[in-house]
A and B are shown apart, each in its own frame.
Chain A
Amino acid sequence: MAQQTVTVEPSDPSGMPSSVRIRTPARIRAMRVSGRVLTYLILWLGSFVYAIPFLWMVRTSFMRLDKLFEEPPQIWPDPWIWQNYIDMWETGPFANWIVNSLILVALGMFGQTFISIFVAYGFARTQFPGRNQLFVLILATLMLPGHVTIVPKFIMFRTVGLLDSLWPVALPDLWGQAFYIFILRQFFLTLPVELDEAAEIDGANLLQVLFRVVIPLSKPAIATVAVFNFINKWNEFFEPFVFIQTPEKLTLAVGIRWFRTQYGTEFQMLMAASIVSVAPIVIVFFFAQKQFVRGIALTGIKS
């Protein structure tokens, strides 16, 4: 690289003095080296700053309450205790919360990822009057913030007597999700139509084409959507928080909020509870890093 720069310099219209030209390679090399050192230095420092709240959370969850506010603070918990996790588990209905969250995740993944595949396929591969107008409508709902509909939904579910259960959160999710439909449709459009046509000539109907041709070829896109779906449902807060009151019926995310209002100063238990809620996310992240990076890149590029 450095050499290339030097060889082209003579043709540079600004005309550098020859003394500079001779000194350049060494200087550039020195600059590159110091640049790399600086890059790593900032990256290490930055990663440390971003990781330390997590480490602090883990540390606190293994500490005894009376050691939390010691000056200077303990870096390593002494004594290291597991008791906080046991206390936490016995203080709040965590088992209920985890089961509720898992139910919502399962229903959400069926209703959002799975149903969205059908809807996206309809938009990508079939023709019917009004199809394009409906697709514009889907894009429009992407712009609609959820808070606009929360009050009427509350009234609606109150009228039919479904408040304070998982239903108000689960029911609206069973019909496909605009953003996932959009991502999947864009992906389906990149698959060659000839494959569909070949299958159709062999006598396959639309459903068979979907299951035997389109879905097998779209596994990466579907996996990406499924991973995001999982994370979003697991983390969902606003709707379950508004619709559910009874502590035993909460999801884990809302349950931790309840825990916070009840035991606001017992940080060692709060941190243990937070770790329980974050653990599945971290696990999914490590197994599906590729999906995350690709998914976000997809979102970024589609603009």
Chain B
Amino acid sequence: MTATDMASAPAPARRRRGILGWTWKETQGFLFILPWLFGFIVFIAGPFFFSFFLSFTQWRLVGDIKWLGFENYAQLLSGEDTRFVQSVYNTAYYVVFHVPGVLIISFIVAGLLNRKVKGIAIYRTCFYLPSITTGVATAVLWYWVLQPNGLLNNFLDIFLGPLDIQAPNWLGSTTWAMPGLIIMSFWSVGTTMIIYLAGLQGIPQHLYEAAEIDGAGWWGKVRHVTIPMMTPQIFLTMVLAVIGSFQVFTAALIITEGGPADATLFLLLYLYWNGFRFFKMGYASAIAWILFFVILFLTIVQFLTARRWVYYEGERAS
């Protein structure tokens, strides 16, 4: 920002002080924002561009930084690095089951809580508390719950025992480790649920009455009133859930360390491995940027398709 830019902006009548030719009030305003601007430049923008640069290099923290051009990206995107391919597959697997699952469970719970039930605070606490529990504590707890003779299998044995079927060894099997982590992720639906509950309470009652007059039953009201009116909240939570599920880290690190045999190796875990175990700074940065672009791409796609199915009440008038 230069002084010439500033000179064109303020009205000539204004009293001026300071080097930039700003009024005292403008300078004060800028001073309020200065702390954030400093933090942004030093701890966000700087590292952001440095990371982009690093992703085209090879560097192991010692010696010179070696320029590679697109080699890191070529290696990752060509499928040459099979562990990376595995981590993309695992992450996609997780997203595909986690996102719809969380949305549906939250929607059902919010719908039930919205029915003017007694003791709502108790139910809300039960459903919400898991989502603010320390991620590490949640992970350690589910590490215990998912043990071969843990809580989940104790429960499953009630049904599977008489049928003479053995409950899965969740964390020890390449087939069941990922479903185990997905089941665990359904425990944290609280935030989505409360967003839905707020949305449901904002739906005008007269819409339901009108639907009833038109002969709509329970399902008709849900399908033609509740769901259309809730599309902004569904959209918001979907975008957040997709972004969040691409960044699974704590659970996989603590419960399975990515195993068995890379069955729960998530993208972020693989980035961590490369950066802070193998100290491949350039390679880790390239993974970070691919992950960033994937998230950005999916978010943009969701925003573009949103026009087709998200209903904003404000737009109806125009």
Give the interface of A toward B (CB within 8 A): 4-5, 8, 12, 14, 35-36, 39-40, 42-43, 46-48, 50-54, 56-57, 60, 69, 71-73, 115-116, 118-119, 121-123, 125-131, 134, 137-138, 141, 143-145, 147-156, 158, 171-172, 174-176, 181, 206, 231, 234-235, 237-238, 242, 253-254, 256-257, 260, 267, 270-271, 273-275, 277-278, 281-282, 285, 289, 292-293, 296-297, 299-301, 303
Contact = CB atoms under 8 A, between A and B. Distances in A.
Interface of B: 1, 5-6, 9-10, 22, 25-33, 35-40, 42-44, 46-48, 50-51, 54, 61, 108-109, 112-113, 115, 117, 121-130, 132-137, 140-145, 147, 149, 151, 154, 187, 191, 194-195, 198-199, 209, 212-213, 215, 218, 232-233, 235-236, 243, 246-247, 249-250, 253-254, 268, 271-272, 275-276, 281, 284-285, 288-289, 291-292, 295-296, 299
Given A39-B117, A43-B112, A53-B151, A148 B40 contact: no
Contact of A145 (B134, B247, B250): B247
B26 A148 contact: no
Nearest to A133: B1
29 contacts: A35-B218, A36-B115, A43-B112, A46-B123, A47-B127, A53-B142, A73-B154, A119-B33, A122-B30, A126-B30, A127-B29, A129-B9, A129-B10, A134-B37, A144-B292, A148-B292, A150-B288, A151-B285, A154-B276, A155-B50, A172-B42, A181-B36, A206-B32, A237-B136, A271-B141, A274-B134, A293-B194, A301-B198, A303-B233
Nearest to A57: B141
B22 A147 contact: no
Contacts of B42: 172
A116 B36 CA distance: 8
Nearest to B53: A152
A260 B48 CA distance: 33
Contacts of A260: 140, 143, 254
Contacts of B236: 300, 303
B153 to A, nearest CB: 10
Given A121-B32, A238-B250, A297 B194 contact: yes
B43 to A, nearest CB: 4
A235 to B, nearest CB: 5
B61 A158 contact: yes
Given A151-B281, A242-B272, A274-B141, A257 B253 contact: yes
Contacts of B121: 289
Given A129-B9, A260-B143, A147 B271 contact: yes
A156 B281 CA distance: 12
B243 A145 contact: yes
Contact of B126 (A51, A73, A147): A51
Given A128-B26, A156-B46, A277-B134, 6 more contacts: A47-B127, A129-B22, A134-B33, A152-B47, A176-B35, A267-B147
Given A253-B136, A270-B144, A172 B187 contact: no
Rank and list the top 10 A-B pairs by shortest CB-CB distance, nearest first. A175-B39, A126-B29, A122-B32, A152-B47, A300-B195, A149-B47, A47-B126, A172-B43, A128-B26, A297-B198
- Summarize A's interface: helix, strand, loop or mixed: helix
B275 A129 contact: no
Given A129-B1, A237-B135, A285-B132, A50 B126 contact: yes
Contacts of A257: 136, 253-254
A50 B187 contact: yes
Contacts of B123: 43, 46-47
Contacts of B48: 144, 148-149, 152
Contacts of B61: 155, 158
Contacts of A299: 195
Give the most central of A8, A14, A127, A231: most B CB within 10 Å: A127
A288 B268 CA distance: 33
B129 A285 contact: yes
Given A281-B134, A300-B198, A131 B37 contact: no
